[in-house]
Amino acid sequence: MTNGSQKGGGNGSGTGTIVAPKSKTATKRPSLYRVLLLNDDYTPMEFVVHVLERFFQKGRDEATRIMLHVHHHGVGECGIYTYEVAETKVTQVMDFARKHQHPLQCVMEKK
Residue 85 falls inside a structural domain = yes
pLDDT digits (tens, 9 = 90+) for 75-92: 999 999 999 999 999 999
Residue 25 falls inside a structural domain = no
pLDDT at 74 over 80: yes
pTM of the model: 0.77
Q: What is the DSSP letter of 32?
A: E
pLDDT digits (tens, 9 = 90+) for 5-35: 555 555 556 677 777 777 778 889 999 999 9
CB burial of residue 64 (10 Å; 0-12, 13-18, 19+): middle
Number of domains making up the chain = 1
pLDDT at 65 over 70: yes
Number of helices (H) and strands (E) in the chain: give both, helices first.
Answer: 3, 3
Structural domain of 48: 41-110
* Domain CATH for 76: 3.30.1390.10
Q: What is the C-alpha to C-alpha distance for residues 78 and 66, in angstroms, rounded to an integer?
A: 7
- Contact assessment for residue 14 and residue 8, using Cβ atoms and an 8 Å cutoff: yes
Q: What is the C-alpha to C-alpha distance for residues 56 and 63, in angstroms, rounded to an integer?
A: 9
Residue 105 falls inside a structural domain = yes
Determine the pLDDT at residue 10. 52
Residue 33 falls inside a structural domain = no
Average pLDDT, the chain: 90
